[in-house]
Amino acid sequence: MITLLKCEYEKTRRTYLFLTVLGITLIQLCWAFYGIYREESLKWGWMMFLYQFPLVNSFFLPLLSVVISSRLADLEHKGVMLKYLAVITDKKRIYDAKLIYGLFIVSLCNLISWSATILFGYIVGFSGAVPLRLYLLYLLFTIMPTIVVYQLLHALSLLFQNQAVSFFTGIIGTFIGLFSMFLPQFPILRLVFPWGYYGALQFIGMFGWTKETRMKNVYFSVMEIDWVAFGILILMGIALYLIGEKLFERKEV
C-alpha cells in the first residue's frame, strides 16, 4: 500500500494538482472572510463563522472533491494505465490507495481552512477566547460529509472513463446541498443526499435579525446536535465504500 501511495504522489507531483486545490481553498477563504467587521461582528465573530461556514463549505468542498477525484482517476484512464496496474496488483488495493491519497488531500485542505479561520479571528480581534470545543465539532462535521461526498465521486471517477459523469454528479449534488440549506421545511433533502449533511449537522443558529435592525439585535446560540443524522452519514459512507469497491473489482479494465 505504501508503494502505491508513493506512486500516486509521483504521478501527481507535476500535474499542478496541489496548486489547484490550494487555489480553490484560498478562494473559499477569501469568499468567507470578505466583509466589514463592525462592533457587532467582532462581538459574535467566533459564533458567526460557525454559522456561516457550513454554507460556504457546502459549495467549495464538493467542488474540491470533484477536482481531486477526477484528476486522480483521469491519470489512470489515459493510456489504459488501469489495465497495467491490475496486472501487478489487486484492483482492491488500487481502489483503496487512490481513495486514501485523495482523502488525504481533501482533509489537508479542510485542516488548512479550519486553521486559517481561527487565525483570522485572532487577527481581526474577535471578542473572547475561541470556543475550541465547538470548533472541533465543526471540524468533525465538515470533514465527515466531505469524506462521504468524496467516496461517491471517487467511485464514479474510477468506474466511468468519461469524467463528465462524476463532474456533473458533483455539480448537481452541490446545488441540491445548497438548496437543502435554504429549505429547512424539507429535511429529507439533507438526509438522502450526502451534500445535504453540511446543513444537517449545522449546530449554530442565528436569531434576532430583521430587515430594519439587521445585526443590531442579532445573537447566536448553540442548537441541539443531530447525532442521528451523523450516524446515518457514517453508515452512508461505509455503504458507498463497499459498493464502490465491489463494482470496481468487477469492472473490465
**Mean pLDDT of the chain, nearest integer:** 86
Mean pLDDT of the region 41-59 = 87
Q: What per-residue confidence (pLDDT) applies to 188?
A: 79
Residue 84 has pLDDT above 80, yes or no: no
Q: What per-residue confidence (pLDDT) applies to 240?
A: 94
First to last CA, the chain: 20
Q: What per-residue confidence (pLDDT) applies to 131?
A: 92
pLDDT digits (tens, 9 = 90+) for 93-107: 888 888 999 999 999
Q: What per-residue confidence (pLDDT) applies to 212?
A: 64
**Closest by CA position to 61, among listed 234, 241, 194, 159:** 194
Whole-angstrom distance, CA of residue 149 vs CA of residue 57 = 12
Q: Which domain holds residue 91?
A: 2-250
Query: In this predicted model, which residue has the larger pLDDT, 212 or 11?
Result: 11
pLDDT digits (tens, 9 = 90+) for 112-147: 999 999 999 988 888 888 999 999 999 999 999 999
Mean pLDDT of the region 50-69 = 91
Q: What per-residue confidence (pLDDT) applies to 79?
A: 64
Q: What per-residue confidence (pLDDT) applies to 107?
A: 93
φ/ψ bin of 207: left (φ > 0), alpha (ψ from -120 to 50), beta (otherwise): beta
The three grid cell numbers given for residue 222, joined into one nine-digit string? 448553540
Q: What per-residue confidence (pLDDT) applies to 8?
A: 76
Q: pTM score, two decimals? A: 0.90
The total domain count for the chain is 1
Buried (b) or exposed (e) across 118-127, using 16+ Cβ within 10 A? eebbeeeebe
**Closest by CA position to 106, among listed 141, 142, 76, 138:** 142
Q: What per-residue confidence (pLDDT) applies to 214?
A: 63
Residue 56 has pLDDT above 70, yes or no: yes
**Closest by CA position to 20, among listed 66, 75, 55, 77:** 66
pLDDT digits (tens, 9 = 90+) for 165-217: 888 998 898 888 888 888 777 777 788 889 999 988 999 888 876 666 666 67
Q: What per-residue confidence (pLDDT) applies to 191?
A: 86
Q: What per-residue confidence (pLDDT) applies to 137?
A: 94
Q: Residue 78 — very low, low, confident or very high, per pLDDT cuts 50/70/90?
A: confident
Q: Residue 253 — very low, low, confident or very high, per pLDDT cuts 50/70/90?
A: low
